[in-house]
């Protein structure tokens, strides 16, 4: 159990373990108690599962309901949110007649549909997914293990940008103050100092801090997946050589499509990261707040696209590594790749006319 939100898994059961009083929140994610303790998992369909869903995508969302909300080890019911009989399944699994609880039932189905549409379950994408609802913010808590690693990354990042912008002789307290603003809501004096420096009103500043944390989260995730992505591309190069001597070269098209999609997504992410460094360095070095303010305010509007890029690349590497681990030799051979790669090519595909980095399209400069 991860106890929070991560790209592939939203663990609501674990969240209730971390925050026992979450059960009494007046702003729950779901109206039904059982759904508020479920697991939601982004899942790559096996071929024998495709008849269970109504979806053109290979990546679907699995809903897992523990039989005993206090003990997930007692077993669970599960289905796909994309299943055509979802509402009937929910009635039976939850023991609730939709006609007697029509409003609550319909709202929970809408919430599941919204979660189904999300490319990943990272906390910043999830929070941006429900802008019209005042949900308890603990539902968007990062998985515990990820949270510790992310905070370490953010602290190192703040020290790095301060050193680059202000020089090695600058005060060491500057990055500590910046990190405190992002992770400690009680650091009132530091927050006010930064808000004034950015010339933002309190409401915009709250949005800006959320945007800053979100951008750093995605930059951290880029670091996390780099090694796995490099290993995957090495495997593609090996498989391409094997495919050259195979009749009809069945992997030529999917390998080409995957490489192009990976390049588009990664270059888009890199361009956004480089733009961020330029803007934040100008703010710290020259005291120019305008570009920084625009970047932070517009960042949440970009989370859907950035989250899709990071989520797709995360899925690609974790799914590939899963099948590598299933092989005794740890290598996916050509025959198996002819089954896996065509599906992965569809999962990671980007529109052919979508070459321009998103931050340029949206005017984030």
Tens-place pLDDT, residues 219-245: 999 999 999 999 999 999 999 999 999
pLDDT at 41: 95
pLDDT at 100: 74
Out of 99-103, 271-275, 288-292, the most confident range is 271-275
Above 80 in pLDDT, residue 33? yes
Q: Among residues 15, 7, 19, 18, which one has the least CA distance to residue 38?
A: 15
Residue appearing with tokens 């007046």: 26
- The DSSP result for 210-254, as a single string, is HHHHHHHHHHHHHHHHHHHHHHHHHHHHHHHHHHHTSTT-TTHHH
Q: How confident is the model at residue 350 (pLDDT cuts 50, 70, 90)?
A: low
Give pLDDT tens digits for 46-91.
Answer: 878 889 999 888 889 999 999 887 777 788 999 999 999 999 999 9
Residues ≥6 apart with Cβ < 8 Å to 185: 191
pLDDT at 355: 43
Residues ≥6 apart with Cβ < 8 Å to 254: 341, 342, 344, 345
pLDDT at 183: 73
* In contact, 62 and 86? CB cutoff 8 Å: no
pLDDT at 326: 87
Q: How confident is the model at residue 172 (pLDDT cuts 50, 70, 90)?
A: low
Above 70 in pLDDT, residue 351? no
Q: 311 or 329, which is more confident?
A: 311
Q: 144 or 260, which is more confident?
A: 260
pLDDT at 288: 78
Q: 109 or 191, which is more confident?
A: 109
Above 70 in pLDDT, residue 163? no
Pairing of strands 71-80, 9-11: unpaired
The whole-model pTM stands at 0.85
Rounded Cα–Cα distance for residues 156 and 191 (Å): 19
Q: Among residues 349, 320, 313, 344, which one has the least CA distance to residue 224?
A: 313
Q: How confident is the model at residue 187 (pLDDT cuts 50, 70, 90)?
A: low
Above 80 in pLDDT, residue 338? yes
Report CA-CA distances (Å) from 151 to 154, 213, 217, 296. Answer: 5, 10, 9, 19
Residues ≥6 apart with Cβ < 8 Å to 297: 204, 207, 208, 211
Rounded Cα–Cα distance for residues 336 and 98 (Å): 44
Rounded Cα–Cα distance for residues 205 and 190 (Å): 13
What's the token pair of residue 93?
């699994």
Rounded Cα–Cα distance for residues 191 and 194 (Å): 5
Please compute the mean of the pLDDT values over residues 335-344 and round it to a whole number. 92
pLDDT at 357: 42
Q: How confident is the model at residue 364 (pLDDT cuts 50, 70, 90)?
A: very low
Percent of the chain whose predicted confidence (pLDDT) is above 70: 88
Above 70 in pLDDT, residue 175? no
Q: How confident is the model at residue 302 (pLDDT cuts 50, 70, 90)?
A: confident
Report CA-CA distances (Å) from 48 to 76, 318, 327. Answer: 21, 21, 20
């Amino acid at each position: 159990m991860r106890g929070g939100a991560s790209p592939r898994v939203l663990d609501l059961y674990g969240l209730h373990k971390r925050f026992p009083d979450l059960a009494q929140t007046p702003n729950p994610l779901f109206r039904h108690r059982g759904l508020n303790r479920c697991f939601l998992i982004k899942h790559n369909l096996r071929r024998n599962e495709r008849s269970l869903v109504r979806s053109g995508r290979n990546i679907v969302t699995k809903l897992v309901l523990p039989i005993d909300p206090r003990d997930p080890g007692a077993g669970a019911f599960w289905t796909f949110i994309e299943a055509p009989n979802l509402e009937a399944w929910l009635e039976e699994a939850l023991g609730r007649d939709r006609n007697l609880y029509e409003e609550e039932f319909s709202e929970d189905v809408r919430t599941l549909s919204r979660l189904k549409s999300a490319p990943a379950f990272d906390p910043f994408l999830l929070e941006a997914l429900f802008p019209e609802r005042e949900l308890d913010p603990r539902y968007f808590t990062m998985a515990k293990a990820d949270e510790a690693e992310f905070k370490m990354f953010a602290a190192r990042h703040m020290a790095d940008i301060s050193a680059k912008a202000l020089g090695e002789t600058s005060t060491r307290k500057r990055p500590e103050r910046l990190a405190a603003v992002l992770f400690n809501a009680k650091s009132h004096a530091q927050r006010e100092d930064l808000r004034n420096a950015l010339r933002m009103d309190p409401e915009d500043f709250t949005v800006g801090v959320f945007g800053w944390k979100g951008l750093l989260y995605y930059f951290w995730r880029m670091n996390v997946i780099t090694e796995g992505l490099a290993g995957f591309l090495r495997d593609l190069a090996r498989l391409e050589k094997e495919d050259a001597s195979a009749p009809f070269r069945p992997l030529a098209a999917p390998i080409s499509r995957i490489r192009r999609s990976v390049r588009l997504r990664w270059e888009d992410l890199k361009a956004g990261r480089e733009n961020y460094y330029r803007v934040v360095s100008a703010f710290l070095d020259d005291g120019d707040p305008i570009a920084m303010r625009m970047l932070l305010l517009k960042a949440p509007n970009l989370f859907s696209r950035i989250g899709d890029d990071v989520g797709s690349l995360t899925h690609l590497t974790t799914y590939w590594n899963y099948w590598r681990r299933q092989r005794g030799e740890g290598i996916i051979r050509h025959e198996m790749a002819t089954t896996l790669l065509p599906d992965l090519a569809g999962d990671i595909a980007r529109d052919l006319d979508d070459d321009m980095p998103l931050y340029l399209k949206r005017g984030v400069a």
